């Protein structure tokens, strides 16, 4: 194959040759090439296969709007599908391959779909699978699932590697005065103007080089521009895409840090996700050239006109020798001239009657009032049939042999970023494009993104944009005005589709999703007359180019069918991202163990040193169990549970929430937030309390200790600690602003250990300076004392029990947690005690029927939880008016807390098991098991949970525990949730 690279054109560095691999063969390109330009230079025409029909596709543009050259870069875990070859810079050793083809893009079995195309028209899925799930719910999902696999394999894009992404990504933040998107003539002018006034300016460019469309101008020097801007202090971010614009001038950028080089070290991220907060945003995002729908307008060799100019003047590639340009506007004439100078034979088909241009090259043949009708060829262009523009229905009047067809159906300003802000674009009938609408936000559109076509006006608009920004910032009083949009010598003429006169045409509107003009007409016939419906039914504009090339054609076809104008049909809203953003960049460093913050208690290392296996509980890591001699989890927790009931055990309970409540109204405050009485809690005593939400449902439970007249320490559950703190702050700051109370989170300041079991008192005594402080008479159940450990460290000891045994919790300043644990552990060992973890803690509390977050799940009232006695009838408190509200109290059959035993004591069950009546095993049943454990004391599995009507209703009935997830069923019986020592003798001992 001959090279298409020509001398004396282009800005690539011909001294630096780069080898790369395409479809397992080696090729050469130059520094400065994109993959697309290197493929074109090597005369590779077919680079992919289309989405539905598997038609051969070539390179169709030179930028982000690319619809044909979507390729896969890299292999194995580095495989990156759906990369636009037009944006991918070439680097030494780059590996790339085509997509959606088997065995390869040159010979693809899937091409048979092209001949079966009438089966794949718009709405194919919906029609074929109507009555079949998921389109209609019912039984028989398997039919859809069977076909889905085949369809998904045949239709689609590149494949993911399914391996973990080895690259690293970063999130970064910054601020500036003015952020300018786009470094075309307008953006550069704006940057210079603003930087000149000493403003902090960031200039964002998605390309590797600055300049925008000027890069394709021979005399434009991108490096000189770069140095000039840097000298003015402009912060330049190239290879960076502004993918989304958000409230308050917050803009999202993706910086491609190493995508343009081969880099496999981890010290630099592959991409950086920037969130920048600017005072003003100037958008000079340019405009995109549209194509025209006509038969076979997708044959490899079809390209936008401006792309051919860039390939010639930037990359030194002459993409065709016999070129036909089809257009309806003036923008092609300069390119035609350049292509002709480079040696191509050029014919222009201009749909207009005539044009008047200065200094036009007379070697170029222009056929006025002529439009492209159909391309002949399948894998490459052989010739093009042309039609008379004024003679409809169109028909072939002549044929021109050629190897390339360049199209320009007009230009669409890239209004995407403004559209992200909810600003509707306005149709401009003179220039046949949507122009940016008005916004009150601090966003200014400049350059061709504003619909300004000629360069000198673009520069003027850039300067005006900078002045506009400074005016809004109150920094400038200079008058400014924006040049009028447009700027061509001859008006553009509408030309969206040249309708093919025969059946089975392939006039593509959206190349990426293989949506044809006929598909749009079919959708209309079937009643889809709103643009949003049309879009979803045909999938027009829903591929990863988001309709950058095809949207306007789709709209114009729809307008035609509805006999309306384009603005009446409307436009679809663009949403972020402007170009695809990798999931890795969104995740940043928040992956693996950094997915969320990790909280550890001050005795974390102590626990690990003593053999703890840890478990994640919310953000915390807590000891799960402490295995001895290779014990399994269940062997370990059963031993730990038994030891606690028999002698003594120690457990880290630091993760409980702790809140200091202080102030003259502290008692009043605490009495209002808890459902049970707190007004008369004596100093030195603690009380278990329940908090309800405004709507009467249980929010959390915990304890509060009265430290002095005006001071309390509140504990909360681990899970609700943050929520309770915010809630107390809300009540004090928004509702009860007259109360003189201060709340402070002291969760991090206090470490705590529970010491439980009949020997706990003896063990703790030996740790204290004054052992008599915790004698039964000095420290009764629910009392607390301030004490000193033997080493003199002050602590607080509360006599409280979650296990049902005699028990204490010792609270100590976090810094002293480890020395406290050393001291306690030494004494506990003397009584053959153990360390216990969360699993044993759970077993102990299930045996006692204590509720936790698994039970208090936000649907449970205080009565449902069997704690009705804790709802005071003598005072008003949060939730008191609502807890007995009609809908809660009228239903006598609400789910009540109960205990569960398996009927066959050898059976086990799991949390999540649904409780059903015999012979009525369906739906959500009549209850659920929320927590289970093996009870060493009872010698079998037990559970707690809820059942409608409670124990009263079912205690003599055998029910069924149904566990559809584990495909398990067992007979169960309902018992009291208080399965061990229901009178509480042990904890009062």
Mark the segment that binds another protein (CB under 8 A) among 242-250, 504-512, 585-593, 902-910.
Answer: 242-250
Q: Tell the smallest beta-carbon distance from residue 517 to another protein (Å).
A: 37
Mark the segment that binds another protein (CB under 8 A) among 240-248, 489-497, 935-943, 944-952.
Answer: 240-248
Q: Which of 730, 791, 822, 904 binds another protein (CB under 8 A)?
A: 730
Q: Does 735 bind another protein (CB under 8 A)?
A: yes
Mark the segment that binds another protein (CB under 8 A) among 367-375, 505-513, 732-740, 759-767.
Answer: 732-740
Contacts of 152 (CB under 8 A, 6+ apart): none
Contacts of 314 (CB under 8 A, 6+ apart): 10, 11, 12, 32, 37, 62, 215, 216
Q: Checking DSSP bridges between strand 750-756 and strand 794-799, what pairing results, if any?
A: unpaired
962 to 572, 909, 954, 955, 957: CA distances (angstroms): 49, 9, 16, 18, 16
Q: Are 757 and 645 in contact (CB under 8 A)?
A: yes
Residue with tokens 């589709």: 497
Q: Are 186 and 462 in contact (CB under 8 A)?
A: yes
Which residues 657-676 are close enough to bind another protein by CB under 8 A?
Answer: 672
CB atoms within 10 A of CB 91: 19
Q: Does 694 bind another protein (CB under 8 A)?
A: yes
Mark the segment that binds another protein (CB under 8 A) among 1-9, 89-97, 125-133, 244-252.
Answer: 244-252
For another protein, give the closer residue by CB, 564 or 885. Answer: 885
Q: Are 43 and 504 in contact (CB under 8 A)?
A: no
CB atoms within 10 A of CB 203: 29
Q: Which of 104, 726, 772, 832 binds another protein (CB under 8 A)?
A: 726
Q: Are 155 and 147 in contact (CB under 8 A)?
A: no
Q: Tell the smallest beta-carbon distance from residue 164 to another protein (Å).
A: 27
Which residues sit opposite 756 in a β-bridge?
649, 807
Residue with tokens 């008003």: 876
Q: Tell the smallest beta-carbon distance from residue 169 to another protein (Å).
A: 19
Q: Which of 886, 906, 923, 924 binds another protein (CB under 8 A)?
A: 886
Report how far apart the first and last C-alpha atoms of the chain are (Å, whole number).
95
Residue with tokens 């009467």: 696
Q: Does 104 bind another protein (CB under 8 A)?
A: no
- Rounded CA gap, 781 and 800, in Å? 6
Residue 355 tokens, joined: 């044009």
- Rounded CA gap, 478 and 468, in Å? 9
Residue with tokens 């706990």: 760
- Rounded CA gap, 144 and 112, in Å? 22
Strands (E), 143-262: 169-181, 201-204, 235-237, 240-246, 250-256
Mark the segment that binds another protein (CB under 8 A) among 79-87, 321-329, 556-564, 870-878.
Answer: 870-878
Q: Does 248 bind another protein (CB under 8 A)?
A: yes
Q: Does 563 bind another protein (CB under 8 A)?
A: no
Q: Tell the smallest beta-carbon distance from residue 604 to another protein (Å).
A: 23
Mark the segment that binds another protein (CB under 8 A) among 487-495, 524-532, 647-655, 729-737.
Answer: 729-737
Q: Tell the smallest beta-carbon distance from residue 813 to another protein (Å).
A: 23
- Total of chain residues touching another protein, rule CB under 8 A: 28
Q: Does 575 bind another protein (CB under 8 A)?
A: no
CB atoms within 10 A of CB 401: 11
Q: Tell the smallest beta-carbon distance from residue 181 to another protein (Å).
A: 17
Q: Which of 729, 775, 791, 822 binds another protein (CB under 8 A)?
A: 729
Reference 57, options 48, 66, 65; nearest CA is 48
For another protein, give the closer residue by CB, 270 or 672. Answer: 672
Q: Does 568 bind another protein (CB under 8 A)?
A: no
Q: Which of 884, 948, 969, 976 binds another protein (CB under 8 A)?
A: 884
Which residues 120-149 are close enough to bind another protein by CB under 8 A?
Answer: none
- Rounded CA gap, 10 and 215, in Å? 10
Contacts of 439 (CB under 8 A, 6+ apart): 418, 421, 423
Q: Tell the smallest beta-carbon distance from residue 596 to another protein (Å).
A: 14
- Rounded CA gap, 39 and 105, in Å? 14
Q: Does 171 bind another protein (CB under 8 A)?
A: no
Q: Does 881 bind another protein (CB under 8 A)?
A: yes
Instruction: Write b or e for each residue in 443-466: b if 16 or more Cβ atoms lie within 10 A of its Cβ, otherwise e.
Output: bbbbbbbbbbbbbebbbbbbbbbb
Per-residue string for binding with another protein, 188-227, x by CB under 8 A? ----------------------------------------
- Rounded CA gap, 818 and 607, in Å? 9
Reference 62, options 207, 261, 220; nearest CA is 207
Which residues 258-277 are close enough to bind another protein by CB under 8 A?
Answer: 275, 277
Q: Which of 15, 219, 247, 264 binds another protein (CB under 8 A)?
A: 247
Mark the segment that binds another protein (CB under 8 A) among 180-188, 245-253, 487-495, 699-707.
Answer: 245-253
Mark the segment that binds another protein (CB under 8 A) among 447-455, 477-485, 733-741, 857-865.
Answer: 733-741
Which residues 438-457 are close enough to bind another protein by CB under 8 A?
Answer: 440
For another protein, give the closer residue by CB, 102 or 175. Answer: 175
Q: Tell the smallest beta-carbon distance from residue 427 to another protein (Å).
A: 23
**Phi, psi dihedral angles at 386 (to 5 degrees):** -120, 160
Per-residue string for binding with another protein, 409-428, x by CB under 8 A? -------------x------
Q: Which residues bind another protein (CB under 8 A)?
A: 246-248, 250, 275, 277, 422, 440, 672, 694-695, 726, 729-730, 732-735, 737, 876-878, 880-882, 884-886
């Amino acid at each position: 194959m001959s090279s298409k690279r020509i001398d004396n054109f282009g800005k690539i560095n011909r001294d630096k040759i780069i080898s790369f691999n395409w479809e397992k063969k080696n090729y050469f390109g130059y520094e400065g090439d994109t993959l697309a330009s290197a493929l074109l230079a090597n005369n590779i025409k077919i680079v992919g296969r289309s989405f539905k029909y598997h038609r051969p596709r070539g390179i169709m543009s030179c930028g982000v709007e690319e619809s044909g050259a979507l390729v896969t870069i890299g292999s194995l875990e580095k495989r990156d599908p759906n990369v636009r070859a037009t944006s991918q810079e070439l680097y030494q050793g780059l590996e790339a391959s085509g997509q959606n083809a088997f065995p390869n893009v040159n010979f693809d079995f899937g091409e048979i779909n092209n001949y079966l195309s009438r089966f794949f028209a718009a709405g194919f899925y919906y029609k074929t699978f109507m009555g079949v799930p998921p389109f209609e719910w019912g039984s028989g999902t398997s039919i859809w699932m069977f076909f889905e696999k085949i369809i998904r394999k045949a239709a689609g894009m590149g494949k993911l590697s399914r391996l973990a992404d080895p690259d690293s990504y970063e999130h970064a933040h910054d601020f500036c005065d003015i952020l300018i998107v786009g470094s075309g003539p307008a953006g550069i002018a704006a940057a210079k103007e603003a930087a000149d006034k000493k403003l902090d300016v960031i200039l964002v460019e998605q390309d590797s080089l600055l300049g925008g469309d000027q890069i394709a101008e021979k005399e434009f020097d991108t490096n000189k521009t770069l140095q000039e801007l840097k000298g003015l202090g402009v912060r330049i971010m190239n290879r960076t895409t502004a993918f989304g614009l958000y409230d308050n001038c917050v803009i999202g950028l993706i910086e491609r840090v190493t995508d343009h080089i081969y880099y496999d070290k981890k010290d630099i991220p592959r991409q950086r996700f920037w969130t920048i907060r600017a005072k003003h945003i100037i958008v000079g995002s340019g405009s995109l050239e549209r194509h025209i729908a006509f038969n076979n307008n997708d044959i490899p060799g079809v390209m936008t006109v401006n792309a051919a100019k860039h390939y010639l003047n930037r990359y030194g590639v002459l993409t065709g020798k016999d070129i036909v340009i089809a257009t309806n506007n003036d923008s092609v004439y300069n390119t035609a001239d350049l292509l002709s100078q480079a040696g191509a034979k050029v014919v222009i088909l201009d749909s207009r009657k005539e044009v008047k241009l200065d200094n036009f090259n007379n070697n170029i043949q222009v056929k006025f009032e002529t439009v492209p009708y159909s391309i002949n060829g399948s894998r490459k262009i052989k010739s093009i049939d042309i039609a008379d523009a004024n003679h409809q229905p169109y028909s072939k009047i002549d044929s021109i042999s050629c190897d390339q067809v360049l199209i320009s159906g007009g230009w669409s300003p890239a209004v995407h970023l403004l559209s992200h802000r909810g600003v509707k674009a306005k149709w401009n009938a003179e220039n046949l494009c949507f122009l940016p609408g008005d916004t009150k936000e601090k966003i200014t559109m400049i350059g061709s993104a504003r619909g300004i076509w000629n360069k000198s006006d673009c520069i003027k608009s850039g300067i005006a944009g900078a002045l506009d920004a400074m005016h809004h910032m109150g920094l400038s009083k200079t008058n400014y005005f924006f040049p009028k949009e447009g700027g061509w010598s001859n008006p553009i003429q509408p030309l969206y589709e040249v309708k093919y006169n025969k059946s089975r045409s392939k006039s593509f509107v959206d190349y990426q999703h293989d949506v044809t003009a006929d598909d749009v007409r079919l959708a209309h016939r079937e009643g889809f007359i709103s643009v949003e419906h049309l879009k979803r039914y045909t999938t027009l504009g829903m591929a990863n180019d988001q309709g950058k090339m095809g949207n306007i054609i789709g709209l114009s076809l729809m307008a035609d069918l509805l006999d309306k104008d384009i603005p009446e049909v409307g436009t679809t809203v663009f949403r972020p991202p402007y170009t695809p953003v990798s999931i890795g960049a969104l995740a940043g460093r928040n992956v693996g163990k950094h997915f969320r913050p990790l909280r550890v208690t001050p005795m974390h290392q102590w626990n690990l040193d003593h053999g703890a296996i840890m478990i994640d509980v919310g953000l915390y890591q807590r000891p799960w169990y402490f295995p001895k001699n290779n014990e399994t989890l269940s062997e370990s927790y059963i031993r730990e549970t038994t030891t606690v009931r028999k002698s003594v055990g120690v457990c880290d309970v630091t993760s409980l929430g702790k809140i200091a409540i202080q102030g003259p109204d502290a008692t009043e405050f605490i009495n209002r937030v808890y459902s049970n009485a707190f007004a008369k809690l004596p100093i030195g005593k603690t009380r278990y309390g329940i908090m309800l939400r405004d709507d009467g449902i249980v929010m959390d439970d915990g304890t509060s200790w009265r430290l002095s007249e005006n001071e309390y320490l509140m504990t909360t559950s681990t899970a609700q600690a943050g929520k309770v703190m915010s809630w107390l702050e809300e009540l004090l700051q928004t509702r009860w602003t007259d109360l003189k109370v201060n709340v402070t989170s002291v969760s991090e300041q206090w470490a705590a250990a529970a010491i439980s079991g009949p020997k706990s008192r003896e063990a703790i005594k030996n740790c204290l300076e004054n052992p008599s402080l915790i004698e039964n008479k000095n420290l009764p159940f629910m009392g607390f004392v301030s004490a000193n450990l033997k080493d003199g460290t002050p602590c607080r000891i509360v006599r409280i029990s979650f296990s049902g045994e005699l028990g204490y919790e010792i609270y100590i300043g976090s810094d002293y947690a480890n020395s406290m644990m050393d001291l306690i552990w030494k004494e506990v060992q003397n009584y053959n005690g153990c360390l216990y973890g969360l699993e044993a803690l759970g077993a102990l509390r299930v045996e006692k029927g204590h509720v936790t977050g698994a039970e208090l799940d936000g649907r449970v009232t205080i009565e449902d939880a069997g704690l009705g006695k804790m709802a005071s009838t003598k005072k008003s408190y949060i939730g008191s008016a609502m807890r007995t509200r009609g809908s809660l109290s009228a239903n006598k059959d609400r789910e009540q807390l109960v205990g569960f035993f398996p009927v066959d004591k050898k059976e086990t069950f799991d949390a999540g098991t649904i409780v059903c009546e015999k012979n009525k095993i369906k739906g959500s049943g009549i209850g659920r098991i929320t927590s289970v454990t093996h009870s060493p004391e009872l010698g079998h599995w037990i559970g707690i949970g809820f059942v409608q009507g409670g124990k009263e209703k079912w205690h003599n009935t055998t029910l069924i525990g149904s566990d559809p997830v584990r495909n398990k069923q067992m007979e169960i019986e309902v018992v009291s949730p208080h399965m061990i020592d229901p009178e509480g003798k042990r904890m009062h001992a």
